[in-house]
Structure 1
Amino acid sequence: MSRYRGPKLRITRRLGKLPGLTQKTSKKTARPGQHGKTLGDGKKKTTEYGLRLEEKQKLKFNYGITESQLYHYIKEARRRKGVTGLILLQLLEMRLDTICFSLGFAPTIAAARQIVNHGHITVNNKVVDIPSFQCQINDVIGVKAKSTSKNIIENNIKTINFIEPPTHLILDKSKLEGTVKNYCDRNELLLDLNELLVIEYYSRR
């Protein structure tokens, strides 16, 4: 499946708030589709499969990843020691585009992916243009020493909705640099998600 490029508010009406996808909110309250109003406001699918599917879709749309990418992260999380659901979220949060979003370099993860693709972001003083790049603890995420790159990031930081980045990241606004100090804290995630249902969704694969 290719990356989703359709209407974003339609997705948030179905799945709820997805900060990585869009900061906008829809005026409509019913779920999308011809049966949205008949189901009632906010009513979700009642089957267990339907609930698991929606949680999985939340991850896909929020982080802007494909089905094959998500399955790759699931397999990697299973391979590592620890709680699989937490490790999955940590892997996604350590992506370069997600970290740029968390630092306030971009208003959404989709926008962060674009600035990474265009070569505006550096990791340990080296330009990295791969959004899925896995950052490590103590990595320094900076901005390319170019006026256009700095202007883009400075404008985004000024207009960002979030006051401070999460505690596992340290932002130096004067240098436009962020440092990864630790893995993310589950309680600080902006996405409302039950990751156990995602693991259960892939349990038969």
Structure 2
Amino acid sequence: MAKYRGPVCRLCRREGEKLFLKGSRCMTEKCAIERRSYPPGQHGQGRPRTSDYSLQLREKQKLRRIYGLQERQFRSVFERAERQSGVTGDALLRLLECRLDNVAYRLGFAASRKQARQIVSHGHLTLNGKKITVAGALVKAGDVIEVRERSRNLVAIQSALEAVDGRGVPEWLELDKGAFKGTVRALPAKEHIALPVNEQMVVELYSR
């Protein structure tokens, strides 16, 4: 599937939910959902389909878009979750949350996951003291993510850290703003992942 390069606000409108793809803009009255809560396109205000498949597909698309993954990447994460013990849906959410780009966003090093992915790929972060450029790398308990010394004066990173207090840092992460450093205290549990998604419907879709 080709990479989506259009306006991301259309994705939020398509799913009918705030996916927080544009950082702080999503918290203001400029958010597209606030102004036009119906799907984009000429048929956006028509009657939506309500089949089981369409509902499952929408949940999958919503989750995939929140984390900014293409279909092949998302399917790969799901297959890995299937191989783990326990509930597949919980494992899927845990794997998505433990991606380095998501952790950088959760810690406040970026205003959105898309920006976090760019920060990681440009080599502005270190993982346990080593430079890393793989946005999909999985963190584990005890890992330390830090902004490199030469990157700490970047406006994007500084402004994101200033705004992180507004959305908060999850319990399973610990942030030291003064040192531009975050620590993974533990792997996230289901109750620590607050998303407007029914992950069980995603499992049912891929199990068809």
TM-score (norm 1): 0.91
In structure 1, which of residues 122, 129, 152 is the aligned counterpart of residue 126 of structure 2? 122
Mapped pair 1:151 → 2:164: no
Inter-partner Cα distance in structure 1 for 2:38 and 2:67? 24
Inter-partner Cα distance in structure 1 for 2:141 and 2:195? 22
Deviation at 1:163, TM superposition (A): 4.1
Inter-partner Cα distance in structure 1 for 2:165 and 2:41? 30
Matched with 1:4 is 4
Deviation at 1:30, TM superposition (A): 1.9
In percent, how many aligned pairs have the same letter? 41
Matched with 1:106 is 110
- Structure 1 unpaired stretches of 5+: none
Contact 2:172 2:192 in 1 (8 A): no
Contact 2:107 2:164 in 1 (8 A): no
Per-residue CA distance 1:113-132 (angstroms, 9 max, x = gap): 00001100100011101100
Matched with 1:167 is 171
Per-residue CA distance 1:164-200 (angstroms, 9 max, x = gap): 2100000011111100111223233342000000011
Inter-partner Cα distance in structure 1 for 2:12 and 2:3? 16
Inter-partner Cα distance in structure 2 for 1:107 and 1:45? 34
In structure 1, which of residues 139, 142, 145 is the aligned counterpart of residue 143 of structure 2? 139
Q: Could you say what the CA RMSD is over the residues aligned between the two structures, in angstroms?
A: 1.4
Matched with 2:206 is 202
Matched with 2:38 is 30
Which letter maps to 2:166?
Answer: F
Greater per-residue helix proportion: 2
Per-residue CA distance 1:78-133 (angstroms, 9 max, x = gap): 10101110100000100000000000111110000000011001000111011001
- Structure 2 unpaired stretches of 5+: none
Which letter maps to 1:3?
Answer: K
In structure 2, which of residues 174, 178, 181 is the aligned counterpart of residue 177 of structure 1? 181
Inter-partner Cα distance in structure 2 for 1:163 and 1:68? 30
Larger CA deviation: 25-34 vs 181-190: 181-190
Aligned length: 197
Larger CA deviation: 125-134 vs 186-195: 186-195
Matched with 1:54 is 58
TM-score (norm 2): 0.90
Which letter maps to 1:72?
Answer: S
